[in-house]
Amino acid sequence: MSETAIVGKTEVDKDIDASSDVLGEAEGTPAAESAEKPRKVSDGLVRGIVFTVLGGAMWGMNGTISKVLMDGYGVAPLWLACVRELSACWLFLIAAGVHSPNRLRGALSDGRSLLSILSIALFSILFSQVAYLEAIHWTNSATATILQSLEVVLVMVYVCLVNRRSPRKREIAGLMLALAGTFLVATGGDPSKLQLPVEGLAWGLGCAAAAAVLAIQPIRMIDRWGNFTVNGLAFLFSGLILAAFVQPWANVPQIDPAGIALLCCSILMGTFGAYALFLQGTKMVGSVRGSMLATTEPMMATLSSIVWLGAVFSPADLLGFAMIIVMVFLTA
């Protein structure tokens, strides 16, 4: 999933789904515009589908680009996370300044909101960035993205606990598929051995937990200040915190022009561009349909890993991937 953006793609209940309208709200777009004429609604739906599919595909490709940078150029996961955050944050803030300047100024002048956004930076942005890139480092973009999709199960459990209800039949079926799919991906079908490195499995599951936090924690702040404002400030805070430890200026990897182009592509297309497209697309098609269309992310990650990196997946891997993707459709 969106590895770096605050967006609720995994809502599985009416309460979470209602909040997702906030997460998918386009900055400065009047709601009445979407209900003028049937033809415009239809055109908007088509555009929304295209935007959502492209956004998910860009996120999937971004995972493979990250793998190339880490393996081909020796870029450390934490260095990459820090540089992407400190670069992309300004794109989000510029977008906020253009589309919703009053919200941006309001957030900057509200001390309590800034503390809340700092919390989002720590527990949502920083956690998800580091976990996702570490999972890619230890495995590959396809496996990391598939394991990240398990966030849907965690959000489902959260919704059931909050609403004090039992899981529905299709949610139980999705949970069973998630467990079976994870088993196949981790062991290749042989319970006597672990096919993934222990670190890769641990970071992959941590990535799912981080994505679940992303789907839940920022809702109130985004409702109040908007997506671009909250993302821009949260990325900035998270990047500054990482910079204090990583010191990216002191540990610059040797990157040739092709590597610099890949890094720019990761920032512009894979982070800001993918987020902006998915955000707008989800606003147009709704969060449930958006979560299903976003399965282009693991599909693109898998295809690009095979074509670009020559990754080889066993039949058990592919079956496990398919089970987890079907799980998304059952529980979304």
pLDDT tens-place string over residues 266-313: 999 988 888 778 767 777 776 667 667 777 888 888 888 888 888 888
Burial code (b: 16+ CB inside 10 Å, e: under 16) for 189-199 equals beeeeebbeee
CA separation for the pair 241, 288 (Å, rounded): 34
Q: What is the pLDDT of residue 281?
A: 78
- The angle subtended at Cα 59 by Cα 54 and Cα 62, nearest 5°, is 120
CA separation for the pair 295, 284 (Å, rounded): 17
What residue spans define the domains of the chain?
14-25+34-150+210-312
- The angle subtended at Cα 59 by Cα 58 and Cα 61, nearest 5°, is 65
- Tell me the two tokens of residue 216: 């839940």
Give CA separation, 90 vs 71, 84, 228, in Å.
Answer: 27, 10, 10
Burial of 207 (0-12, 13-18, 19+ CB in 10 A): buried
Is the separation of the CB atoms in 324 and 182 below 8 Å? yes
List, as one string, the DSSP characters of 57-70. Answer: HHHHHHHHHHHHHH
Q: Residue 76: helix, strand or coil by DSSP?
A: coil
Locate tokens 């977008």: which residue? 95
List, as one string, the DSSP characters of 217-250. Answer: TTHHHHHHH-HHHHHHHHHHHHHHHHHHHH-TTT
- Tell me the two tokens of residue 158: 């959260």
CA separation for the pair 225, 105 (Å, rounded): 9
Which residue stretches of the chain are H helix? 14-23, 38-73, 77-99, 101-108, 111-120, 127-138, 141-148, 151-163, 169-187, 198-216, 219-225, 227-246, 257-267, 274-285, 287-293, 296-309, 315-331
Closest to 58 (Cα-Cα) out of 120, 141, 162: 141
Q: Considering the entire predicted model, what is its pTM?
A: 0.79
Q: What is the pLDDT of residue 42?
A: 60
Q: What is the pLDDT of residue 103?
A: 95
Q: What is the pLDDT of residue 8?
A: 43
Burial of 317 (0-12, 13-18, 19+ CB in 10 A): buried
- Terminal Cα-to-Cα distance of the chain (whole angstroms): 14
- Tell me the two tokens of residue 293: 């269309």
Q: What is the pLDDT of residue 245?
A: 92
List, as one string, the DSSP characters of 85-101. Answer: HHHHHHHHHHHHHHH-H
DSSP letter (8 states) at residue 27: T
Is the separation of the CB atoms in 237 and 36 below 8 Å? no
pLDDT in tens, the chain (332 residues): 555 555 444 444 444 444 333 333 444 443 334 444 445 556 778 888 888 889 888 988 999 999 999 999 999 999 999 999 999 999 999 999 999 999 999 999 999 999 999 999 998 889 988 999 999 999 998 999 889 888 888 888 888 898 888 888 888 888 888 889 888 888 887 777 778 899 999 999 998 898 888 878 887 888 899 888 998 999 999 999 999 999 999 889 999 999 999 999 999 998 888 877 876 777 777 666 766 777 788 888 888 888 888 888 888 889 988 988 888 777 76
